């Protein structure tokens, strides 16, 4: 399962059958146990269009033995190496009648432990007592994201659409991208499959039109040490 060439050239890859149906159901079961018990948790965001859990791997660590099964561990080792760790994780649950959509963007921020003056770290924000900052592009270029699909995801229930190889443009504003000249791919993924994505890849998602639920676990990874006293605030090892 070596997809490194495809990931580096296109900025993404889709790999099916990383999880069996029973493994997916175990993950869902652990999520439901916690979400039913912690309805007022600060890291939970709930609306008619989206339910999300930030710091997912910390909020529901019971899922991790199922998430990091042998297939996923082997995939990470083969394609990226052995020195990576989790830097951020979010669970998304897009309901059947969701009107939630996201326009084209890059994932430009990382979660850190404090706000300090560090050269080339900019655009600081704070959400739910969590500091986020845009690091130099060299850090983002070496990171990767895994999106684990707990439901079949198609163009009709908000599958990501991406601009192929757009991660090679560096950090850019979407208005500077000529969308009519780009190759766009809709990343449909079967239940139990994953999508790998580079943070600088331009991506978006549409509204749900087929009354089908979409649940995804989004996990970001890095192998880099941050400068000065900055630390990855959600840093966690998985093997």
Query: Is the pLDDT assigned to residue 98 strictly greater than 90?
Result: no
Query: Among 23-32, 82-91, 168-177, whose mean pLDDT is lowest?
Result: 168-177
Q: In this predicted model, what pLDDT tens digit does every residue of 26-70 receive, in sequence order?
A: 999 999 998 876 656 666 766 666 689 999 999 999 999 999 999
For the chain, the domain total comes to 1
CA distance 112 to 127: 12
**pLDDT value of position 65:** 97
Q: What percent of the chain stands above pLDDT 70?
A: 95
**pLDDT value of position 101:** 87
Beta strands in 27-139 (DSSP E): 44-46, 51-54, 85-94, 102-105, 110-112, 122-127, 130-134
Q: Is residue 238 part of a domain?
A: no
Average pLDDT over residues 100-108: 93
CA distance 230 to 111: 10
Q: Is residue 156 part of a domain?
A: yes
Handedness of CA 83, 78, 57, 217 (dihedral sign): positive
| Mean of per-residue pLDDT scores for the chain | 93
Identify the residue with better confidence: 175 or 20. Answer: 20
**pLDDT value of position 48:** 62
Q: Is residue 114 part of a domain?
A: yes
Query: Is the pLDDT assigned to residue 157 strictly greater than 70?
Result: yes
Q: Is residue 231 part of a domain?
A: no
Q: Is residue 228 part of a domain?
A: no
Kindly report the length of the chain. Answer: 239
CA distance 235 to 129: 16
Q: Is residue 230 part of a domain?
A: no
**CB 177 within 8 Å of CB 202:** yes
Tell me how far CA of residue 90 lies from CA of 57, 116, 186, 202, in angstroms: 8, 25, 21, 19
Structural domain boundaries enclosing 188: 4-222
Q: In this predicted model, what pLDDT tens digit does every residue of 181-232 receive, in sequence order?
A: 999 999 999 999 999 999 999 999 998 889 899 999 999 999 999 999 999 9
Q: Is residue 235 part of a domain?
A: no
For residue 205, give the H/E element and its range: strand 203-205
Token pair of 96, please?
Answer: 């059947």
Q: Domain holding 61: CATH number?
A: 2.60.120.620
**pLDDT value of position 128:** 75
**pLDDT value of position 42:** 60
How would residue 22 be classed by pLDDT, with cut points 50, 70 and 90? very high
Identify the residue with better confidence: 129 or 200. Answer: 200
Q: Is residue 166 part of a domain?
A: yes
How would residue 120 be classed by pLDDT, with cut points 50, 70 and 90? very high
């Amino acid at each position: 399962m070596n997809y490194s060439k495809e990931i580096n050239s296109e900025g993404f890859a889709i790999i099916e059958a990383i999880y069996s149906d029973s493994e997916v159901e175990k993950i869902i079961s652990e999520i439901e146990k916690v979400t039913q018990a912690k309805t007022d948790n600060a890291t939970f965001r709930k609306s008619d269009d989206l339910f999300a859990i930030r710091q997912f791997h910390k909020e529901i660590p019971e899922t991790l033995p199922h998430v990091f099964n042998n297939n996923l561990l082997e995939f990470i080792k083969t394609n990226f190496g052995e020195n990576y760790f989790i830097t951020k994780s979010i669970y998304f649950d897009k309901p059947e009648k969701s009107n939630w959509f996201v326009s084209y963007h890059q994932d430009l921020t990382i979660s850190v432990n404090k706000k300090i003056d560090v050269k080339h770290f900019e655009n600081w924000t704070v959400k739910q007592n969590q500091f986020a900052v845009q690091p130099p592009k060299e850090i983002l270029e070496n990171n990767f994201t895994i999106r684990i699909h707990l439901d079949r995801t198609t163009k009709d229930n908000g599958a990501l659409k991406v601009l192929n190889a757009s991660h090679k443009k560096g950090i850019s504003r979407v208005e500077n991208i000529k969308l009519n000249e780009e190759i766009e791919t809709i990343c449909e993924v079967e239940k139990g499959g994953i999508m790998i994505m580079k943070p600088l890849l331009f991506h978006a998602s549409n509204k749900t039109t087929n009354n089908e639920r979409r649940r995804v676990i989004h996990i970001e990874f890095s192998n880099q040490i941050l400068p000065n006293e900055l630390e990855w605030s959600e840093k966690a090892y998985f093997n």
